[in-house]
Each structure stands twice: as C-alpha cells, then as structure tokens.
Chains A and B, each alone.
Chain A
Amino acid sequence: MKDKEQLVELFKLKAEAVSAVVTPVTSLHQAFEYVVDICEKKEACQLLASGCEEGLSDPAQALCETKQDKVIAAPGLTKKLFKELETAGKGKGFKFIQDGLRNHLGGIDIGFTVVDYGLAETGTLVLASKSEETRLATMVCEIHVAVLPLSKLKATSSDLEDFLLASFTATPDYTAFITGASRTADIERVLALGVHGPLELHILLWEDK
C-alpha cells in the first residue's frame, strides 16, 4: 500500500510539474460534477473559443463563428454514463456530444475521457485512441478532463510494454501518451500552453478499488 501511495504522489508531482491540475475523486459521478462545475463556475466554457478574440484573418474568423454552444464532448462513455453526465449538467445550457466531433472543429470546451493507464515517472496518461471521436475530443478541446483509475497507475513505460504491444497488434491502432497540456516554446523560448491542443489538462485521480 505504501508503494502505491508513493506512486500516486510521484504521479501528482510530475503531472503538476507540467502544469496539469490534479484532483482526487471518489466516483465517476463526482468526476461528472467536476466537469459541469468547471464549465460553469470557472467560466471555462465560453461561446468564444480561445484566440477568437484576437485579430484574425477572414477564414480563421469564419471558423470561430461556427461555435454556437458551450460544448462538452465525452465520446468514450457508455450510453448509461453519458446520460448521467448529461443529467449532472441539466439546465445549464451546455451541449453534450458523443459523436460527430468533426462538426465542432471550431471549438469544443471540454473533452472528457477515462484513460487506460497512468505513468508515475513522467506524469503521463495513456489513452487508447482507435476511435476518431476520442482522438478529436482530446485534440480539439480547450480543456481536457481525464479520469485516471488508480488501479491503472504504473511506475514507468516499461511496465506497460505488454499492454502497448497488445494494442499495437490489434490493428489498426492509435495510442496516445499525453503529458500535460499542449505546449510550445517556439517564440523566444517562452513557454505557452495551448497551441493546437488543450490549453489545460485536468486529471481526476479515481480511487476505483
């Protein structure tokens, strides 16, 4: 047990070092409330996608204008859980989607996923992304909220070789390691978060067992 706690601590330390927000939750329901909460209270959900307030060229502006709602995408959830998430956000005016993400390339506020594994050494999430909708949810969103079941937390990538090989062999396959938010230092080596992918990564540590 002690080892497990240390692993969780290390994961938290490493994930926070790359500016992820790490919070414990006791149930998926609590995770849903978290999503609704940040979308509402912290005004993370905005009609205007990030960057759309800047002076843009006409085509870029046009794409901005296709975003008409506050959108929460959760493609990977079962129908039942998706209903639960919708219920948690009922009456708040959010749009919940599970598919057709290509119609929302102008902007998605929150992408919600339950990831497959976590790697403590680097604070990394491992997400099987065979589904195109899952990929888009985690790429196009402004905030990625990821639930990491603690039973799936490993020390290093070496502990995951079997899982990865099994994934790579069940072709076709798209597997993602995600460590922190999307970032760049291409202008004057100054760190900026949220270039093409999420501006924020929130990790919910779920004590699932």
Chain B
Amino acid sequence: MQDAKDLNQYKTELRESLNNEFLRSAMDKFAVAYPAARARAFGDMDVAALVADVARAKDVSVGQMDALYAQFKAKAEAAGATVHLARTAHEANEIIASIARENGVKHIVKSKSMTAEETHLNPHLEAAGLNVTETDLGEWIIQLRGEGPSHMVMPAIHLSRYQVSDLFSDVTKQKQDSDIQKLVKVARRELRPKFVQADMGVSGANFALAQTGTIGIVTNEGNGRLTTTLPRVHVALLGLEKLTPTLHEALGVLKVLPRNATGQALTSYVTWITGNNQCAPGPDGKKVMHIVFLDNGRRAMAKDPIFSQVLRCVRCGACANVCPVYRMVGGHKYGHVYIGAIGLILTYFFHGREKAKNLVQNCINCGACKAVCAAGIDLPRLIKEVHARIQDEEGHPLQSQLLGLAMKNRTLFHGLLRAAKFAQRPVTGGTPYLRHLPMIFAKGQDFRALPAIAAKPFRDQWAKLKPLVPSPKLKVALFSGCVLDFVYPEQMAAAVKVLADRGVAVDFPMGQSCCGLPVEMMGERIAARDVAEQNVTAIDASAYDYILTLCASCASHLKHAYPRLLKDTPSVAYNAQQFSDRVIDFSSFVRDVLKVEAQDFMPGGPKTAYHAPCHLCRGLDVHEAPRALIGIGGMDYVQAEEEEVCCGFGGTFSMKFPEVSAEILGKKLSNVEATGAEQLVTDCPGCVMQLRGGAETRGMRLDVLHLAEALAARLK
C-alpha cells in the first residue's frame, strides 16, 4: 500500500524495508529459487512462442471486449446466472452489497481475487454490516493483520512463520507452534466452520469464455472450490479483460500461467463453472449465481494505442519475482494493490497519480520483468510512459527539466561536462575517483567511488587515434555515448585498438550527443525525442555498414527506442530505421563480424568473471558473444551466480535511490567474490562505473574492466 506523501517519505519507507532482515533473506531465497523452478516447469517448451500466443490471443480479445461481454452475458444468463457490468470500483462494490442484501446474506467467504482487492470490496461489505472472511491462507493472514498483499500470488510472502504463529495464537486463543505444517492445519480447521456458516461466496475468475458463458478459476488450495460450492449465493468478480472468445485461448493461457507463476505445470485445481449449479440450500436446490464484470477504466484502456497491452496481464506475478528492486524492498513498497512492474503501471490507472508518482520512479529499467512476462508486455517502457504522463500532469521537477534542456543543446551539454572537469579538481585528490564530494552531491553516494571526468574526452583525442585504413572492407561509425566520451575515453581507445589492422574504416561523427536514455528515464519525452533526432542526423547511417557502440544501454536505446521516438517525425523516421538496423554492440561485432580468434591474443590470462549488462542480455538478447570472447581473449572464464541480474546502476536511478542501488550492487559483488576471480569484465561503461566503484569502496582485489580493455591488453 502506498501512503507516502512525497519522494522523501517514500525513501524513508524503503529504508525500513531494506533494514527488515527477514524480508531481505526471504526475498533473496525466492529470487534465486524462482528462475530455476520456472525453467524446470517449462522444460524444453518453446516459451517465447507460448508467450507470443498468449499476447496475440489477448490482444484479439481485448479488441472485442464489448462484443465478448454481450455474448458472455447472453450465454451465462441462458444458463441461469445473472451478469452485471460495473463501470467503477464503487459500482462493483455496490452491486455485490445489494446482491447480499437481496438474499438476506450475513456471512461471506471469499476466495482470492485481485479484482476485489482493486475495488477494496471487503471494507465496503463490512461497512454494510456483513461479515467477510478471506479463505485463501495468505489472504486470510493479511486480512487478520489488516494489511494489503505483498505479492499477487503469495500475498503474505513478507511474513515469517513466527509472525503467523503469533497471529493464529491470537485468533484461536491457544498457543500455537511455529511449525508450518501445523499452522496450515490450524487454518484448515479454523476456516472450515466459516465455509459451513457462509451464505455467500465471492470469488475472482481467471477466464470468462464468451462462447459458453463459462468462468474458469485457477487455484491451489481448494478454497475456491468450497467458496463456489457450499454457500447458496456465488458472486464472481472479474475484470473485463478476462473475457476470451473460446475455451481454446484459455487453454493456451493455462499452459503459461501456472508455470510462470509458481513453476507448476498446472495448479491443483482449475474449476469451470457455467450457470447456476446444484446447491442444496439454494432456492429450488439451485445456486444464486451472479457474475460482475469490472470496467474501472478498462474499456478506455482497451482503446489506448500504448497502454492496451496492459490488459494482456494474466496476473502471474512473475514480473515481481524477477525484479531486483522488488527483491530489495518487498511488495508493500513496490506496488499499491497490484504489485511489481505491472503494479507500478496499474496503480496509476486504478488508484491514481498520488499513489503511483513515487513508485514509478523506483524502476531501474533492467528489463527483467519484460523478459519473464507471461503476456509479453513491454513493462519497463510503460512504466517510463506513466512516469512521463505524471510529470506532464503535475509539472516537471526542476532538475529533470534542466537536464532535458541541457541535453537538447549538445554544445551546451558538452560544455557543462568540460566545465565539470575543472570544478572537480579539488575533489579528486589526484586519483581517478571523486573523493571529496560536497555533501549536497554525495548524500548516500558513498557506497561506491564515483569516477572523475577524464582529462581529455574521446572526441578531442579522435584526430590522433583515428586509424588509417587504405582499402577497408567495412565502414563503421562509432557511437560513444556520454560516459565513454567524457569519463572512460580509454575504453573507446581500447576498442579502436582491437579493431585496428582488420580492414575496418572507423569514423567518429562529431555531431553525436548523449543517446537520450537518461532524459527518457527522467520522464522528459520531448528532450528524448529531440536528442534522438540530433543523433540520427549527425550519423548518416547509410554511409556505414555498422554503428558500433560499447555501451549496452546506448545500443539498446538506439536500436529499440529510436524508431518509436521518431516515427511521427517524417523527416527522420526513415533514417531512424536505417540507423537502428545498423546498431551493433561491441561483443557481437568483434566475435561475429570481425571473427577474432584465440591466436590473436596472448594465452594464460587471469581468472575472469563476467557481468551481463541488462541492456545487452535482455535489451539486445546477446548472451554468448561476450562470454566466448573472454575465452578467445586468453582469459580463464569463471561463471558467477546470477550473472544476468542487474548491478544496480540504472543511470540516474543510483543517484535517486542510492540505498537500493547499493544493496543490489552488494549482492552482485558478493557473487563475483565467491568465484575467486581476479578480474571482472562487462560491456557497458555504466556497469563498469558501478562495479569498479563498488569494488574500490569494498577494498576488493578485483580489476573491473570493459571487455574492450581486457581484450586490447591481451592483443598479440
């Protein structure tokens, strides 16, 4: 739940979560266990194809939402159910309360429904004098504690067995053991009388089949079955996006949902209900059956060209499972009702700007959620989009406006960076790090040493470095990005060295500027677009075979975001596609285009670990090339745990949320330390900055290098 008034209060709350030791260790175990369980569950299935099927089927359904609703209503009502459409959360709650009233209901049992959480149904029913009991174990626990869920599938994941045992001792007035098996049995027996007593059951549903008017419910505990069977009234509350034309699409989703959610091939129960079934205590021995569909903005969203894909979500919860920030701060701080990446987005739509405005800033843009999403939703992009919308609505913070302004004007921006070089002199103490930052900049930043601005940017060195290639086979334009140009020009120089004598004509077009990702991350859409246009204009793509960049973040942004950012600017839209098609990362270029070989390098190199930059492994789907190059380059590659998990940098993220960043970095460095590597290589200057600075502060004996540097040093 979000109640922080401003970013500072939100950060204070984050700190509390970071200091919660139980939460931290529970989340860590989960983060490590989940990917393995998921991989086992999918086995050798073609996951990408299954996900694409879900996405396609969902898009079709969402596009026909109104027609499917009408069809469903006709079918379900012919089978004896009553179907309602609630325009708002409040209306849904009212409909359900009046069903309770009309049927003389006093006691309600509920099985798990995120939609009911969305509408805050329980408080509404309780205010109407009804007694409501959640029967899903996790939901019951948090109901008793008066909390919201901390995960969409495991709502009580933030609690320990001891907390549950204390809670159950209170409820039963008997001292309870902390043995989990026993606690589960206690819940079994305590909730059974609630089922016996209840006259109404409220459930959610995962599917609504228009073809037959059937709802499908996916559960594990069996409470959903009792909820829909024992009481004489059953109300199912579900979002309009659960409508699908036929059973066929639902079975497709069922292939992915349980595997992605909990690593199960299938949940214990899938229940298909059509119409008013047999029910002894009901009128004429039949169930009073109501199905309430919730709009709450979904019909408008279905027509939104950018956000309609949000309605594909099948609520598997996986986007939280893999999120490095969720892992650090837990669900109460990483969502409001809906949790995780999708929660950041849905909170804005269903619970408002106020609840969403801090949350959406706390995304590091690592792309792990997108890569795991059961429905192929481009979550990080939509999170940025919500951030930008909120800024457009509330006004842009000065800092972000200034950055946007500065970046739009390359000469000004580069001038500022050059000026920073002189301003930093008193703080470097002659080392390559910023040592004595004035407090205002340094707050919370001491977890990793920050590098100083280089004495001479790469662009000023270029005239001397540019190799002479008489009859080139390939023409390559270098795109440096700001960090390499102004902080780590030596990494660029190293790359030029690796390319030398291989028949590649290399160019460094001077009109290039920042790629624009930092401004997009800060919600400055216009600046991001303007910078993209400058770069596409500065580098005449068709004059080159490749546009090579050593920065994974730049590469992924140039490749994926440019065509989108510039699609409505006719003068450059075509060039943008030409441009992005030619973008290639350093590792892929060196291994797959240059095809370097082991004999080009000296053997016997150091034990070397690898960190996979988010924007390389997920952003560009490059996994093998850099690891292979470590071996080709004569180094001894050792695999670290969680190589493809984020390092915590995220550009401005690490400045805004230093404590979260520091914790993520800590995990990463510990995993590297455990390998006993002497050297750590990666292919993104941002990651180098974070990892090198962290290793320095931690006093580790670890050289952190860009892969280009590591290779250049070993060239024969």
B98-106, B157-165, B462-470, B693-701 - interface stretch = B157-165
Query: Would you call B269 and A176 a contact (CB within 8 A)?
Result: yes
**A132-B229 contact, Cβ under 8 Å, with A56-B186, A185-B154:** yes
User: Closest Cβ of chain B: how far from A160's Cβ, in Å?
Assistant: 9
Alpha-carbon separation in the docked complex, A168 to B212 (Å)? 6
Please judge, given known A-B contacts A174-B277, A192-B184, A196-B223, whether A186 and B172 are in contact too, CB under 8 Å.
no
Q: Is the CB of A186 within 8 A of B141?
A: yes
Cα-based distance from A51 to B176 in the complex (angstroms): 12
Knowing A136-B229, A189-B30, say if A182 contacts B221 (CB, 8 Å): yes
Q: Given known contacts A165-B212, A187-B159, A197-B268, is B172 in contact with A131 (CB within 8 Å)?
A: no
Q: Across the interface, do B209 and A168 meet the contact criterion of CB distance under 8 Å?
A: yes
Interface: B222 (CB within 8 A): yes
Tell me the bound Cα distance from A42 to B154 in angstroms.
34
Q: Pick from A50, A168, A179: contact of B214, CB below 8 A.
A: A168
User: Residue on A with the closest CB to B209?
Assistant: A168
CB distance from A195 to the nearest CB of B (A): 4
Q: B212–A174 contact, CB under 8 A? A: no
A152 to B669, CA, bound (A): 54
Task: Judge if B509 is at the interface, Cβ distance under 8 Å.
Answer: no
A196 near B191 with CB under 8 A, answer: yes
Complex CA–CA separation, A189 to B261 (angstroms): 13
**Contact between chains at A176 and B184 (CB < 8 Å):** no
Verify B186–A54 contact, CB threshold 8 A.
Answer: yes
In-complex Cβ contact of A173 among B161, B220, B251, B277 (8 A)? B277
| Structural contact, A63 and B193, CB atoms closer than 8 A | yes
- Per-residue CB proximity of A165-204 to B under 8 Å, as 1/0? 1011101111111111111111111101011111000000
Stretch with Cβ within 8 A of B (4 or more), from A21-29, A76-84, A116-124? A116-124
Min CB distance B138 to A, Å, is 4
A139 to B268, CA, bound (A): 12
Flag B186-230 by CB within 8 Å of A: 1 or 0 each. 111111110110000000000001011110000011110110111
- Number of residues in A with C-beta < 8 Å to the partner? 64
B189 near A56 (CB under 8 angstroms)? yes
Q: Which residues of A contact B278 (CB under 8 A)?
A: 130-132, 172
Tell me if A157 is interfacial: C-beta within 8 Å of chain B: yes
Whether A186 contacts B275 by the Cβ 8 Å rule is no
Q: In this assembly, does B80 line the interface, its C-beta being within 8 Å of a C-beta of chain A?
A: yes
Find out whether the CB atom of A179 lies under 8 angstroms from the CB atom of B277: no
A168 touches B184 (CB 8 A): no
A106's closest neighbor in chain B, by CB?
Answer: B192
Residues 285 to 326 of chain B near chain A (Cβ within 8 Å) = 286-287, 289
Q: What residues of chain A lie closer than 8 Å to B268, measured between beta carbons? A: 18, 178-183, 197
Contact B212 A187 (CB under 8 A): no
Task: List the B residue with the shortest CB-CB distance to A165.
Answer: B247
Q: How far is the CA of A12 from the CA of B79 in the complex (A)?
A: 37
Q: Is B262 an interface residue (CB 8 A)?
A: yes
Cβ-defined partner of B277 (8 Å) among A140, A172, A182, A184: A172
Give bound CA distance, A35 to B337, whole Å: 46
A88 at the interface (CB under 8 A from B): no
Say yes or no: A54 contacts B272, CB within 8 Å: no
- Which B residues contact A (CB, under 8 angstroms)? 26, 29-30, 33, 78-80, 135-138, 141, 154-157, 159-161, 164, 171-176, 180-193, 195-196, 209, 211-214, 220-223, 225-226, 228-230, 247-248, 251, 254, 262, 264-281, 286-287, 289
Residues of A within 8 A of B (CB): 14, 17-18, 49-52, 54-57, 59-60, 62-64, 102, 105-106, 121-124, 130-132, 135-136, 139-140, 157-158, 161, 164-165, 167-169, 171-190, 192, 194-198
Given contacts A122-B266, A167-B272, 5 further A-B contacts (CB under 8 A): A55-B176, A168-B272, A171-B275, A176-B271, A194-B188
| 17 A–B pairs (Cβ distance < 8 Å), ordered by A | A18-B264, A52-B189, A54-B189, A55-B172, A60-B190, A63-B189, A105-B230, A132-B280, A157-B254, A173-B214, A174-B271, A177-B270, A179-B268, A186-B138, A192-B181, A195-B187, A195-B220
